[in-house]
Structure 1
């Protein structure tokens, strides 16, 4: 069983860092909960809503990565979920260096066969399927896990089963709110099909 994972807010709870970086970038006194609601749609929509120029994206990613080093941690029971499958691959909008930093900080790097940084490696941002197609050239993928629709759209286009993490408002084959349920509610049923 091979699983492709999104990173931010799927493997690691990076929402506090995403919100802190966004508020700092905006230079406005914004409500953290409201910013979070917009970021959960996607950052492009949040930028538009708050009138932030898309040219500031690199600055946002730099701030997000800075806050991530202290404000982000893996979701509970993640190691058990990762160790239950054969190969794990990450496809993320985050830069590779900060992804590896967080994985090593929490001793999770050993679980991953490959990390694809979408923009660093020249792919179009998700939901475009080019980064997933790249992974499929090297690895068979049985499941994609993500927290937003843009993580799962490319999987559906490529006929790969999907699992939505902590988001029951998006279309997916499976929905879970905790990785404590990953084996029983996702992996076992998937292996029986």
Structure 2
């Protein structure tokens, strides 16, 4: 049975993609580009926002750093629209009640913790990694390895949980178990140890 759950934030615990996609679409339009919303969503979910901005930056002659700063400024307007998935808080509580540990691994800055605190969910976490630590981004294993060392976690009973293939790849690269949350039916991570369509399927994988 698993003990330690390392959670991705956006698209896994919190339904933040609607606002993120609005911010990205506005950025694309402001720079003279056009893209269908479904195409944009799929590209971001199958790769990452940074990878999308890298390609787009090459098209419009702007640096990735410049576009990322532009995107983050636009995305702040939608912070109030970010809400946990209906089962998320109950699942976090269930894992903790079963003697497990929740940890956070997000590319967001401290805003992720502020959002969790707003929902009284920050206390459900043992700790985590956010962008302020400036560790290499997923699928690099560094952030997971940092958590394993920092909290003395056993990799054999630790799982990386996320909604994208890169979350799963980060877990594989760090030699921990992996759980793919197939929230949008993309079936994008067949390499995961476990695939779930609903968060409520996760607690039974953890010790009771």
State the structure with more CA Rg.
2
Question: Matched residues in 1 for 2:69 and 2:134: separation?
Answer: 15
TM-score by length of 1: 0.86
How much has 1:151 moved relative to structure 2? 1.2
The runs of 4+ residues in structure 1 deviating greater than 3 Å are 48-53
1:130 aligns with 2:142: yes
**Runs of 5+ unmatched residues, structure 1:** none
Contact 1:6 1:91 in 2 (8 A): yes
Q: CA deviation at 1:176?
A: 0.9
Residue of structure 1 equivalent to 2:49: 43
Instruction: Show the 5 A alignment for 1:34-113.
Output: 34-41=39-46, 42-50=48-56, 51=59, 53=62, 54-55=64-65, 56-67=67-78, 69-85=79-95, 86-96=100-110, 98-113=111-126
Alpha-carbon spacing, 1:114–1:65, altered in 2? closer, same or farther (3 Å): farther
Contact 1:61 1:94 in 2 (8 A): no
Higher relative contact order (CA 8 A, sep 6+): 2
Could you list the per-position Cα deviations for residues 54-74 of structure 1 after superposition, in whole angstroms to 9, with x for gaps in the alignment?
Answer: 12112212322331x222111
Number of equivalenced pairs:
185
CA contact (8 A) 1:88 1:111 kept: yes
| Aligned residue number for residue 33 of structure 1 | 38
Aligned equivalents of 1:128, 1:4: Cα separation in 2? 15
Q: Distance in 2 between matches of 1:157 and 1:29?
A: 35
Give the Å deviation of 1:105.
2.2
In the superposition, the TM-score normalised over structure 2's length comes to 0.80
